[in-house]
Amino acid sequence: MLIPKNRDSVGELIKKIPEMKNEIDEGDIDKPYVVFGLFAEYLKRNVLNEELVQRSFDLLNQFSDGEDPELANLVQVGVFESIAHDPQWQTLARQYLRPKAMWLFQNARRI
């Protein structure tokens, strides 16, 4: 399993989306792909919460814009592959994602 160079990707997620803390089992805290998969499921359940969606996409933009390819992969595989085929998320992506994140989102749609 790839581990992002920024090993605190889970910590950054919890910092930006503190409500995720209740969604993560203690044993999964050091498994970023598991945590980001849970994050994708949490987003799907809360798609109508515009403030949460905007904060989440801000974080995903931040991770996508960085220099760490493993972190970008975490965004694509952990989150975008779960939501990219949903028309509602496609609309939200066009609204909130910057170019690098949108590229990852589009790649996830091809899978």
Tens-digit pLDDT profile for residues 59-75: 999 999 999 999 999 99
- Mutual angle of helices 32-45 and 9-16, in 10-degree steps: 20
Other beta carbons within 10 angstroms of residue 87's beta carbon come to 7
Q: Is a pLDDT exceeding 60 seen at residue 53?
A: yes
| 103 burial via Cβ count (<10 Å: 0-12, 13-18, 19+) | middle
Percent of all residues in the chain with a pLDDT value above 90, rounded to a whole number:
90
Q: What are the DSSP calls for 25-48, one per residue?
A: -GGGTT-HHHHHHHHHHHHHHTTT
Q: Is a pLDDT exceeding 70 seen at residue 2?
A: no
